[in-house]
Amino acid sequence: MLIRSDRKKIPRLDTILSYDANMILAERRFKGEQRFSALEVCAQLCALHVRKRYRFDCHAFLLSFSTVTPIPPKILNGMGRFEGRLNGISQRAFSYDVKFQLEPMAAIQIKLNIGTSAYGKMFKKEKLRPYYQQLFASLCHCNVKRESIKDGS
């Protein structure tokens, strides 16, 4: 299945290293990319975590973000590590603290809010649910803590 975007190249996670009900840890190698790429990957990380928590039965999207520490205005190169920690839940929103580390830079702290909505005409369950299930499974490689997520997969 192919999900298309108007953007030429969207930065994506490379690997999910571990996750549980309240945390997700992943990596991505940057190759001469602009700093907005780190924010995009942080949003993907947390939205995937929310989708997994709800057995991929809802659409998840970035509501807002704020950086606690500024992202340096330079090109990103090297292996970046992303750790998202869930710190708040409401009926349809999730709050995360994300730490992004790319050596030799100091760790960057980002706060993200992820919203959810039911699938419908615009976000079709029959296309998006299997797409995100497959994406999540393809990114999981080692040290995965599966027992703590609701669906047990």
Q: What is the pLDDT of residues 13-66, one digit of tens each?
A: 999 999 999 999 999 999 998 888 899 999 999 999 999 999 999 999 999 999
**Contact criterion met (CB below 8 Å) for 22 and 149:** no
Pairing of strands 108-117, 59-67: antiparallel
What 3-state class would DSSP assign to 152? coil
Amino acid of residue 6: D
Does residue 80 have a pLDDT over 80? yes
Residue for token digits 């940057």? Answer: 30
DSSP annotation of 143 reads S
**What percent of the chain has a predicted confidence (pLDDT) above 70?**
86
- The residues, any chain, with a CB within 8 Å of residue 11's CB and separated by 6 or more, are 28, 30, 33, 37, 40, 41
pLDDT, average across residues 6-11: 64
**Prediction pTM value:** 0.84
Structure tokens at 47: 């939205």
Please state at what angle helix 36-53 crosses helix 125-139, rounded to 10 degrees.
Answer: 110
Q: Mean pLDDT throughout 118-137?
A: 91
- Residue 8: per-residue pLDDT: 56
pLDDT tens digits, residue range 81-115? Answer: 999 999 999 989 999 999 999 888 888 999 999 99
pLDDT the model gives residue 123: 83
Q: What is the mean pLDDT of the chain?
A: 85
